[in-house]
Chain A
Amino acid sequence: MGAMKLWLTADAPDSRWQAQAGQIYAISRSFARNPLAMLGAVIVGLLVLVAMFAPWLAPYSPTGQNLSMRLMPPSAENWLGTDELGRDILSRIIHGSRITLLIVVMVAVISAPLGLLIGAIAGYFGGWTDRVLMAVTDVFLSLPKLIMALAFVAALGAGLQNAIIAIAVTAWPAYARIARAETLTFRNSEFIAAVQLQGASNMRIIGLHVLPLCMSSTIIRVTLDMAGIILTAAGLGFLGLGAQPPLPEWGAMISRGRSFILDQWWVATMPGLAIIIISLGFCFLGDGLRDVLDPRQRDGR
């Protein structure tokens, strides 16, 4: 263990690989020192684990109805109670974590690279390219996210896939703005001029020199946005435009519980709690990443 640590923190690493391992070690150490960030990481980690092992963790089937057990309060058998069709709410939440994770990951995978690329290209080339791309971005930014997602789903038809596409379409403009602003700060700096002088192509400069510098702020922003994405997905589900029954989507579950909210509070509250906890987890994680991902800040401490 001691030798390992010495190797990782070596002042003069012998290879590129050791240097990178040392860097990752330094990042994870400063991350581990931040309790809220760790809490966020634990919550998100748990979400991933639960989603992976949902069929084994869930005590009952998420769709199996049992009308003799409908609307039972939380008890030893049904820890979080049952809904109006006698389905176990805990099992539904556990299976629902898969849908939530799928939405969050797919939206991030679609919208973050798209936004980054558009923003970096606009910032790097400037002039007309910038004006056209940013005009498009502004049009998307000027509409409220949920309303626009609603419009897209209405056009594409309800369903999980279309909900993901709709949310991704509404999420990228923010990343494009961030990437453009970041790019502008170093567009004319000498290290960019130096690679241009070496004969690098524009695509190479954007891909290898500009994008890595926009990366950390985008990762932070995406993580912080995860909460919003989950809420938008839940909102779509609540309005019946997201995942369709009997899929155990959390927003749709709240929507079903609305009719019983005064007498059988657990039906709507439990999936609501799940949404709150996961959203908080992503927020904490994003805040922690912000403190950690900048190597200049890391050495300051």
Chain B
Amino acid sequence: MNPALHVENLFVRYGRVDVVKGVSFSVAKGKSYALVGESGSGKSTILRAIVGMAPDWRGKTLIDGETQVAYGNLDFARHCQMVFQDPYASLHPRRTVDATLLEPLKIHGIGGGSAKVADMLEAVGLDRRFRYRFPHQLSGGQRQRVAIARALMLEPHLLLLDEPTSALDVSVQAEILNLLVRLRQERGLTYLLVTHSLPVVSFLCDRLGVLRQGGMVEQAGIEVLREGTFAKPYAQELYASSLGAGDRARQKSLPMAPETEKDV
């Protein structure tokens, strides 16, 4: 079986600098793969290159085993959609939720839009009273639900998630993550997630790739992340820095500092 997404030797260039250097990975159907790394490690750029939004890229990206030249391609749109990082910037400010969700159906000439919008709102857990609201009348979490609903309107198999929870506060993050897990199970979706939060990865994904300065440092299964047994020192470092102070003390098997001596 072809992987849902296969990226081979991908280079992306901004001006004279290669910001992604020879990255390869693949994501099996129905699985979730996470790209993690610091800011500037090129993880979002890889997503942009896959959908064709990066200006200058070379390499091979195969979706369902086929090369698909992206951007503005109707066929591609039905295979792969993207959820953006900032729910405040990713919805058209003058269009109601209804109009935003209908638009992909109209572009593709798919009928029965009204019922499909209602179903989709229910699927992403939005009450029907939000249907004719404008984005500025919604909270961040509700907007992100709309953005996810929009991405799913064309029933793609592959969903690219660009830090889908980083602009939201903690309790809302959990809701959105639960929604993403549920949608994946219900619809058999494949996720490619970009994030800098390792807890999100361990909650949502099966595999992860650690990026540094545009290069792939290490790829590992989720059990490696859970146990903290990365092979490469940079991945170890990233793992350690994502832990809280208490975890770090336990990791180094140091005795916990007594309560009274804790830094204030």
A residues within 8 Å of B by Cβ? 11-13, 16, 18-19, 189-191, 193-202, 204, 208-209, 212-213, 295-296, 299
In the complex, which residues of chain A have a beta carbon less than 8 angstroms from the beta carbon of B81? 197-198
Contacting pair A196 B134 (CB below 8 A):
no
Q: How far is the CA of A198 from the CA of B147 in the complex (A)?
A: 12
In the complex, which residues of chain B have a beta carbon less than 8 angstroms from the beta carbon of A212? 94
Q: How far is the CA of A248 from the CA of B104 in the complex (A)?
A: 54
Contacting pair B107 A190 (CB below 8 A):
no
Contacting pair B104 A198 (CB below 8 A):
yes
Contacting pair A19 B72 (CB below 8 A):
no
- For A295, give the chain B residue with the smallest CB separation: B134
Contacting pair A191 B90 (CB below 8 A):
yes
Min CB distance B158 to A, Å, is 12
Pick from B74, B85, B92: contact of A191, CB below 8 A: B92
Q: How far is the CA of A212 from the CA of B89 in the complex (A)?
A: 17
Min CB distance A80 to B, Å, is 46
Pick from B71, B89, B150: contact of A196, CB below 8 A: B71
Contacting pair A191 B91 (CB below 8 A):
yes
Q: Mark B145-174, 1 if CB is under 8 A from A, else 0.
A: 001001000100000000000000000000
Contacting pair B129 A197 (CB below 8 A):
no
- For B128, give the chain A residue with the smallest CB separation: A12
Pick from A19, A190, A193, A296: contact of B132, CB below 8 A: A19
Min CB distance A301 to B, Å, is 13
Pick from B95, B128, B136, B147: contact of A299, CB below 8 A: B136
- For A189, give the chain B residue with the smallest CB separation: B89
Q: How far is the CA of A208 from the CA of B137 in the complex (A)?
A: 21
Contacting pair B96 A19 (CB below 8 A):
yes
In the complex, which residues of chain A have a beta carbon less than 8 angstroms from the beta carbon of B93? 191, 213, 295-296
Output the residue of B92, B128, B129 with the most chain A CB within 10 A. Answer: B92
Contacting pair A194 B90 (CB below 8 A):
yes
In the complex, which residues of chain A have a beta carbon less than 8 angstroms from the beta carbon of B127? 12
26 pairs, CB–CB < 8 Å, chain A vs chain B: A11-B129, A12-B129, A12-B130, A12-B131, A16-B98, A19-B132, A189-B89, A189-B90, A190-B84, A191-B93, A193-B53, A193-B84, A193-B90, A194-B84, A194-B147, A195-B103, A195-B107, A197-B77, A198-B81, A198-B107, A198-B108, A198-B154, A199-B76, A199-B107, A204-B107, A208-B103
Output the residue of A196, A198, A296 with the most chain B CB within 10 A. Answer: A198
Contacting pair B103 A199 (CB below 8 A):
no
Contacting pair A198 B77 (CB below 8 A):
yes
Query: Is B18 interfacial (CB 8 A cutoff)?
Result: no
Q: How far is the CA of A194 from the CA of B148 in the complex (A)?
A: 11
In the complex, which residues of chain B have a beta carbon less than 8 angstroms from the beta carbon of A208? 103
In the complex, which residues of chain A have a beta carbon less than 8 angstroms from the beta carbon of B53? 193, 196
In the complex, which residues of chain A have a beta carbon less than 8 angstroms from the beta carbon of B76? 199
Contacting pair A209 B92 (CB below 8 A):
yes
Q: How far is the CA of A295 from the CA of B138 in the complex (A)?
A: 13
Q: How far is the CA of A49 from the CA of B108 in the complex (A)?
A: 46
